[in-house]
């Protein structure tokens, strides 16, 4: 699926909607992610915090939703936040996306947006130029 403005707007809407479901009682830092697969389906995830300060990030929850539905070929992920500049995926989330980019031998587009309309686009390879390469079996 192409990275059109219409597709990006749909991803923004879905990521913003799911960000409102975030469970962030400790930080009030809400994040939503919308993951676009090669089949054109969109899977969403929000962050979930716990009192031990470990959290499930929105990107990871979106990846999990896609994988549980048999999707492993990702085109792009949009991350919606309420901070300026818009939040980028952490190193751990970048590595998880990298594994799927290696599986499919293609870069993944990363789009970050905030509630003020600030938006930036990257390729995963720009944010993680040399991730840990999965071991082949």
pTM of the prediction?
A: 0.93
For 91-108, write each residue's pLDDT tens digit: 999 999 999 999 999 999
Please indicate if the annotation marks 84 as binding a ligand: no
Residue 136 catalytic? Answer: no
Domain residue ranges of the chain, discontinuous segments joined by +? 5-127
For 49-96, write each residue's pLDDT tens digit: 999 989 999 999 999 999 999 999 999 999 999 999 999 999 999 999
Please indicate if the annotation marks 50 as binding a ligand: yes
Please indicate if the annotation marks 49 as binding a ligand: yes
How many whole angstroms separate alpha carbon 137 and alpha carbon 127? 27
Please indicate if the annotation marks 122 as binding a ligand: no
CATH number of 5-127: 3.40.140.10
For 105-127, write each residue's pLDDT tens digit: 999 999 999 999 999 999 999 99
Active-site choice (59, 99, 126, 136): 59
């Amino acid at each position: 699926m192409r990275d059109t403005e219409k597709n990006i707007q749909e991803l923004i809407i879905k990521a913003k909607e799911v960000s409102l479901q975030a469970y962030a009682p400790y930080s009030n830092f809400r994040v939503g992610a919308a993951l676009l697969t090669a089949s054109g389906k969109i899977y969403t995830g929000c962050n979930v915090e716990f009192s031990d300060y470990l959290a499930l990030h929105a990107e990871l929850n979106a990846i999990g939703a896609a994988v549980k539905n048999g999707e492993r070929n990702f085109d792009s992920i949009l991350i919606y936040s309420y901070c300026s500049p818009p939040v980028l995926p952490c190193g751990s989330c970048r590595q998880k996306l990298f594994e799927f980019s290696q599986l499919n031998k293609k870069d993944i587009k990363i789009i970050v947006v905030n509630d003020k309309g600030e938006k930036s686009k990257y390729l995963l390879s720009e944010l993680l130029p040399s991730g840990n390469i999965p071991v082949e079996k």
